[in-house]
Amino acid sequence: MMNNVVAHIESHCLKHSIKLTSLRKLIILLLSEQNQPITAYELLAKLNEQSKDKNYNIMSIYRVLDFLCQNELIHRIHTTNCYTICCHPEKHICQLFICKNCGTKIEQHDEQLDQTLQKLAQKSAFAISQHTIELFGLCHKCLSFAI
């Protein structure tokens, strides 16, 4: 399933002429393997662990993460400063449900919600530039433990 996400992102990049360097690809692959959003430093540690011949530094990781965020291939969770893969990069609105207990991320896309928000923005003469909505709570697994 995870490889599907990567293949999906790769074809999306091809279609939109987004250039994927080997490091960009590597980071996409690593993020797609995580069940939970991770920090740039956690990503760096995993990357250096995996590729022993190379030693990546945090600045190059941040550069790639910024690029991937700008092209909406990954999400930066602003509240926790963690990064996670975007499951549907062709959709411009993502609702991220993040479990406070185990950190699991579930992604949804509701066009109607986007339209509602656009209407509200218009009323306020406001231009939305960032569409990701972060929602915190408990996932179904943690919920069943809590009961």
By CB under 5 A, tell whether 73 contacts Zn ion: no
> With b meaning 16 or more CB within 10 Å and e meaning fewer, what string describes 75-97?
bbbeebebbbbbbbbebebbbbb
Helices (H), the chain: 2-15, 22-32, 40-50, 58-70, 111-123, 140-146
Distance between CA atoms of residues 61 and 56, nearest Å: 7
Comparison of 48 and 138: residue with beta carbon closer to Zn ion: 138
Contact segment (CB under 5 A) with Zn ion among 3-11, 32-40, 48-56, 101-109 equals: 101-109
By CB under 5 A, tell whether 70 contacts Zn ion: no
Contact segment (CB under 5 A) with Zn ion among 31-39, 60-68, 78-86, 115-123 equals: 78-86
Q: By rule CB under 5 A, what string of x and - marks binding of each residue 5-44 to Zn ion?
A: ----------------------------------------
Region 102-121 residues binding Zn ion, contact defined as CB under 5 A: 102, 104
Distance between CA atoms of residues 63 and 60, nearest Å: 5
Binding site for Zn ion (CB under 5 A): 86, 94, 99, 101-102, 104, 139, 142
